[in-house]
Amino acid sequence: MNIKEKILEKLPEMRSRVKKLLIEKGDHVIDYVTIGQVYGGMRNSKVLVSDISYVDPEEGIRFRGYSIPEVLEKLPKPDYAEMPYVGGLYYLLLTGEIPNKDDALIVENDWLIRSQVPGYVFETLKNLPEQTHPMTLFTLAVQSLQTQSEFSRQYHEGMKKEDYWIPMLEDSLNLTAKLPIIAAYIYNLKYRNGEIPIVDHNLDWGANFAQMMCIKDDGYAELARLYFIIHSDHESGNVSAHATHLVGSSLADIYYAFSAGLNGLAGPLHGLANQESLGWLLDVMDEFGRVPTKEQLREYTWKTLESGKVIPGYGHAVLRVPDPRFTAQMNFAKKRFPKDDLVKLADLVFEVVPQVLKEQGKAKNPAPNVDAITGTLQYYYGIREFDFYTVLFGVGRALGVSANLVWARALGQPLERPKSLTTRMLEES
């Protein structure tokens, strides 16, 4: 069954659940919000809803109820591959059901059919100044595809509200189909010969990305699938997901909404942390000329903290345990290239840094997040241009945020518009 048919099958029940919930419990208080939360980035204020994924502070992400190890085990895989089809993950995010191989292949084939990127997108990127950041190129490419929006076209022609999700799904499939090509082109334009990558119609979405990046090692196709799956979604409150949702709530189409999310991802406290984390590991290697001893690393960590900096890749706004996305990537690296010095160092950092952060006593979570290892794996396979790493994150993140937007339209979620107060009002409260 394709995704549209599956959503059509599920929609009546989901709509009536939400309707019943609002009638029976519309006035039910979930939690209260403190002044500390209002002034503190709204941490842990429970004001969003998403059925696509949930981050349990003590366990990590679950996609539609499935943990990362479960997703990696249960989703269908290409023959002889260890990592599942990304198309299967998209099916799961959008429908809530684990697909069989045929279902996953319907998505993969659909992506192939929709993968052609209009020539003007490449021309637009080519005409920008050479020093343009890869994330700026990525955002502009997504934004420039807006002319293709089915949602926008059908909305202006006039369409029933309950059907909004259908062109939104079309747009989401069209956009996600094109992102690996756009990302590989940005890499070529910035760091190689500027060639337009060519999609191989015999390969899946992840393997195609590896092929377009011209990385011969088969391991990179496996890593690409793993990477895009684990970066797809992290519930709704993180900056990229929330920005996408907020802009989408104005009934902006996916191109407007997701380019807003990408702009948020470009910030140092969000998607840029992966490159900062790898940079810190490389600085350690520079300082010692080899993988340091535990004691040397301890001292180096304290030196970083005492200079007023954070240890990138450690800490999290929600998680209170090691991020399972870190664990999945670390397992991958230890299985495939355990002797790599950076992998050994990342492992040692995992032993030393949480202890030091605990002694410092500031970070609520001294454990690693996804970014403590992501860059190390890309670096191993030869992707060594740090500025590109957030583009990779963005390709994965599109899957989750677009699935959320399709369901936001399907359930008729309204314009988001929280209320703000003045400092005086809070002082007098």
Catalytic residues: 270, 316, 371
CB of 365 to ligand AMX, least distance (A): 6
Q: Which residues of 372-404 are buried (b: 16+ CB within 10 A; e: fewer)?
A: bbbbbbbbbbebebbebbbbbbbbbbbbbbbbb
Of 199 and 377, which has the nearer Cβ to ligand AMX?
377
CB 7 → ligand AMX: shortest distance, Å? 29
Min. distance of Cβ 258 from ligand AMX in angstroms?
Answer: 17
Which residue of the chain is nearest ligand AMX when measured via CB?
A: 315
Q: Check the CA dihedral 386-206-266-55 and report its sign.
A: negative
Q: What is the spatial distance between Cα 344 and Cα 328, in angstroms, rounded to a whole number? A: 16
Q: How far is the CB of 238 from ligand AMX (least distance, A)?
A: 6
Q: Length of the chain, please?
A: 429
Q: Sign of torsion, CA 79 83 88 92?
A: positive
CA atoms of 23 and 6, how far apart (whole Å): 27
- Tokens for 176, please give them: 């996600």
Question: Of 326, 318, 320, 324, which is closest to residue 357 (Cα–Cα)?
Answer: 320
Nearer to ligand AMX, 220 or 326 (CB): 326
- Helix, strand, coil percentages in the chain from 3-state DSSP, rounded to 5: 60, 5, 35
Torsions phi, psi for 235 (to 5 deg): 50, -165
Q: Which residue has the tokens 């797809």?
A: 232
- Measured from the CB atom, the residue of 211 and 378 that comes closer to ligand AMX is 378
Angle (nearest 5°) at CA 381 between 376 and 386: 55
Measured from the CB of residue 57, what is the shortest distance to ligand AMX in angstroms?
Answer: 11
Q: CB count, 10 Å around CB of 81?
A: 16
d(CA 248, CA 134): 24
- The answer to whether 60 touches 325, Cβ cutoff 8 Å, is yes
Q: Which residues bind ligand AMX (CB under 6 A)?
A: 269-271, 273, 305, 310-317, 357, 362-365, 369-371
Rounded distance between C-alpha atoms, residue 328 and residue 317, angstroms: 20
195 Cβ contact list (under 8 Å, min separation 6)? 188
Q: What angle do CA 79, 81, 87 make, to 5 degrees?
A: 80
Q: Report yes or no: 255 and 171 within 8 Å, Cβ to Cβ.
A: yes
Q: Which is nearer to ligand AMX, 81 or 269 (CB)?
A: 269
CA–CA distance, 429 with 423 (Å, rounded to integer): 10
**Of the two residues 166 and 273, which places its CB atom closer to ligand AMX in the complex?**
273
In sign, the C-alpha dihedral spanning 305, 321, 285, 214 is negative
d(CA 390, CA 270): 9
The nearest distance, CB 328 to ligand AMX, in angstroms, is 15
Of the two residues 86 and 305, which places its CB atom closer to ligand AMX in the complex?
305
CB of 213 to ligand AMX, least distance (A): 22
Identity of the residue, 196 or 310, whose beta carbon is nearer to ligand AMX in the bound complex: 310
Smallest gap from Cβ 310 to ligand AMX, in A, equals: 3
Nearer of residues 117 and 349 to ligand AMX, judged by Cβ: 349
